[in-house]
Amino acid sequence: MRLLVGLGNPGSRYAMTRHNVGFMAVDAIAQRYRFAPFRAKFQGVISEGAIGDGKGGDAKVLVLKPETYMNASGDSVGAAARFYKIAPGEIAVFHDDLDLADGKLRVKRGGGAGGHNGLRSLDETLGPDYWRVRIGIGHPGMKELVEAYVLQNFFAEERQWLEPLLGAIAEAAPVLVADDPQAFMSKVAHILKPNKHTAPPHPNPLPGGEREGPAKREGEGEKEK
């Protein structure tokens, strides 16, 4: 059994924000493979389904979207992991990443939270040894703009790279479920390559938001509950 977790904040207010790209990714997976309708459980909503493992069989997969707000995501994920006896190495968490350029994707097991409050909560509950699927959202350029930036909706221009990326993540999900994260990243890149689409720099989202180098999420999440 595999547990795929999307990080985000619940409610329509946050539905299309950059911080909710993890929710969007697991929604795309659940839709593509026709998972059961989401139901409330574990302080979140959960769906069940099967994804071909690339070896002629199907892997049972759970998709979870915590509804605890980002800062307490570990409460929901920890409850689900304990109930189903799922080890951290069988959990993949999809989340936004400021330190990756728009539309870039990276996967790794373990590591630090990098200032991400959702990952910090998960680390406290599960330890660090789960898989992290990092989805780049770019950086506003100044650390004092980060909190407002991640809680802002994607611009229409950004959806030109976001929607193909979410589709590619869903299409490549069987490779991730088969425990081959490097091949998963390669397949996502291969799916997107025919479009030759490179995410353009996003327009400055806030006054003074010219792009600079990556910075940590200092103060990020203070408005989240």
pLDDT tens per residue, range 17-33: 999 999 999 999 999 99
Distance CA 10, CA 108 (A): 26
Residue 38 domain-assigned (yes or no): yes
pLDDT in tens, 146-166: 999 999 999 999 999 999 999
Residue 147 domain-assigned (yes or no): yes
pLDDT in tens, 19-77: 999 999 999 999 999 999 999 999 999 999 999 866 667 889 999 999 999 999 999 99
Total of domains in the chain:
1
Element (H, E) at 132: strand 131-136
Whole-prediction pTM? 0.86
Residue 164 domain-assigned (yes or no): yes
* Greatest distance between any 2 Cα atoms in the chain: 53
Residue 19 domain-assigned (yes or no): yes
Residue 129 domain-assigned (yes or no): yes
Q: Which domain holds residue 128?
A: 2-195
Taking 60 as the threshold, does the pLDDT of residue 183 lie above it?
A: yes
Residue 112 domain-assigned (yes or no): yes
Residue 206 domain-assigned (yes or no): no
Residues labelled as active-site residues: 19
**Using an 8 Å Cβ cutoff, are 200 and 141 in contact?**
no
**Using an 8 Å Cβ cutoff, are 43 and 25 in contact?**
no
Radius of gyration in angstroms for the set of CA atoms belonging to the chain, rounded to a whole number: 16
Residue 131 domain-assigned (yes or no): yes
Using the Cα atoms of residue 206, residue 210, residue 216 and residue 218 in order, give the sign of their dihedral. Answer: negative
CATH of the domain at 175: 3.40.50.1470
CA 38 to chain centre: 17
